[in-house]
Amino acid sequence: MKTAFLYSDAFAQFDYGSTHPLKTFRLKLAYELISACGLLSLPNTRLVEAEAAANEDLLLFHDSRYIEVLESANKGIVTADAELFGLGPGDNPVFPGLLDWSRLVTGASLQAARLVDSGEVDIAFNISGGLHHALASKASGFCYINDPVIVIRSLLRRGRRVAYIDIDAHHADGVQEAFYDTDAVLTISLHETGTTLFPGTGFEDETGVGKGEGYSVNIPMPPSSDDELFVYAFEAVVPPLIEKFKPDIIVSQLGVDSFSSDPLADLYYTTKGFCEVVRRIRELSSRWVALGGGGYDVANVARAWTLAWAIMNDREIPDEIPQDFLEEYRPHGFRSGKIGDDLSGAKIAGKELMKEEVERVVGYIAKNVLPKITGP
């Protein structure tokens, strides 16, 4: 198994603002922990410097007028119609280098896709990617450019069948919208229900239209869902869908805002459930483009994506965080000194009702969605 890790020190140079929950520094933390664990010096692993995407790449999905507005925003200029494009105070601030950041993230995702599609590697991981909320002409949910959509469209141009699996706490609404009417892409999103969390979409009856009917799959999870419910829902839905669809390549978004300590969501996953699902994704395809995603507890991001990268390389790593790393970065939330979570948490109230709801959703998908999926 050959793997590639996409990274640039420039990722951490961009800043959404001191009060914004998305800290680009989390990417440096993840890189440093992965490196400290010896996971970038393995025999079949490549560390690849991220390169920025060109405007023509962005136009695979985004409207030209929107790109023009982002170019102004890149210089710190707020145009009169910026608000119409989702820009302004709040989730999607205007800051110098905004488009440079987005190009670099997208370029790294495209590099990952090319490496996998060419056969140079089997798995490529861009931890900066997975910005799945951006729409064709609107920023949304901290996302200005939708790199998963651009990656998938680039693969479609090469005649590939693509399955997209998203385990972020938030629904992959931008990706769903882009492929809602096609059967060339199977999109699967496991997320906290839209009744309680942004973007308020992603219900099980959102299954696609026209040729795409059945090819958009959503598993909305009740708030406070834990590892057991997460793994059950994944196992019940995802492998059967992938088996029927038979993709050439899987593109996944591995957001970790689903962990119990994350400040922006209400799910109670841990590294245990996360790793079980990551292992299953690895088993489902011999060609895998992995993208990062959400995660607003920066220590969770570093720990989880280190574990994910170890799985991608079929490596077991000690649970103790290397001492040199811990001495430098402990103030950023590495409280226990462990890479894995403490699994001795209290029982969750209302678990039976949550299980009934998840079983209902799984049953709906088995009855109304799975029969519509066909292979190549």
Catalytic annotation, residues: 171
Q: Please tell me what DSSP assigns to residue 41.
A: S
**What is d(CA 291, CA 168) in angstroms, rounded to the nearest whole number?**
11
What the block records as the tokens of 77 is: 């200029």
Residue 69, amino acid: V
List all residues 6 or more positions away from 363 whose beta carbon is below 8 Å from its beta carbon: none
**What is d(CA 146, CA 127) in angstroms, rounded to the nearest whole number?**
14
**What is d(CA 114, CA 111) in angstroms, rounded to the nearest whole number?**
5
Helix (H) or strand (E) holding 290: strand 288-291
For residue 192, the cross-strand partners are 221
Q: What is the length of the chain?
A: 376
Query: Do residues 308 and 254 lie in contact, with contact meaning Cβ atoms separated by under 8 Å?
Result: yes
Query: Do residues 172 and 216 lie in contact, with contact meaning Cβ atoms separated by under 8 Å?
Result: no
Q: Please tell me what DSSP assigns to residue 319.
A: S
Query: Do residues 61 and 136 lie in contact, with contact meaning Cβ atoms separated by under 8 Å?
Result: yes
- Compute CA distances 4 → 91, 116, 162, 260, whole Å: 31, 9, 19, 30
What the block records as the tokens of 1 is: 């198994």
